[in-house]
Amino acid sequence: MSTPAPHDPAAAHGPITAPGQLAETPALEGDTAAGHATVHGDESHGGLGLYLAVFAALCFLTTMSFFTYSSYWPWRDEPQVGWAFMMAVSCTKALLVVLFFMHVLWEANWKYVLTIPAAMMAIFLAVMLIPDIGLRNRMVSQERALHMARPADVLLLEQAASAAEEGADHVGNHDH
């Protein structure tokens, strides 16, 4: 009481203004290197070379999933192989975007708190749809069965198409 501390604004306000810096206005008072570093510890990560490498990888992976559509894809008769492949490619692409472009690789552990529960909820959400919607065609009313498309309809249309093609060929020959 008798010896008041010398008024030092930096010492007195430093810890209190830190959250202000942290929250919204890093650059207002953060021109000093120290303040800047505490606010954006992750700033030095990345770099043009890394981003371009990730970009190249993403383009390559897009080409890979497009490859399943091309005639060079060896498993054209087993679409499941292509689906699994494309999902693997998509997950890899998603991971690249999240880790590098969204800077999650360099974030602290809060990233797990936000992403893992959301991802689990997302998976549960889809799984919970399976009994009622995924298996909806196991048991259907007669009226619905009357109006819903069946593989036989596709077959019928294909037969009609090939018949039309033959007819067209026939007409063509006739014209010649």
Binding residues among 144-163 for other proteins as defined by CB under 8 A: 147-151, 153-154, 156-161, 163
Residues numbered 61-90 forming contacts with other proteins, rule: CB under 8 A: 62-63, 65-66, 68-69, 79, 82-83, 86-87, 89-90
Does residue 55 sit in helix, strand or coil? helix
* Measured distance CA(132)–CA(61) in Å, rounded: 35
Place of tokens 């990730």: 54
Residue in the structure block whose two tokens are 């399976």: 130
Q: How far is the C-alpha of 147 from the C-alpha of 13, rounded, in Å?
A: 74
Under the binding rule (CB under 8 A), the answer on residue 1 touching other proteins is: yes
- Residue 86's SS3 state is helix
Q: Give least dist CB 33 to other proteins, A.
A: 12
Residues in 79-138 that interact with other proteins by CB under 8 A: 79, 82-83, 86-87, 89-90, 93-94, 97-98, 101-103, 107-108, 110, 114-115, 117-119, 121-123, 125-126, 129-130, 133-137
DSSP state at residue 153: H
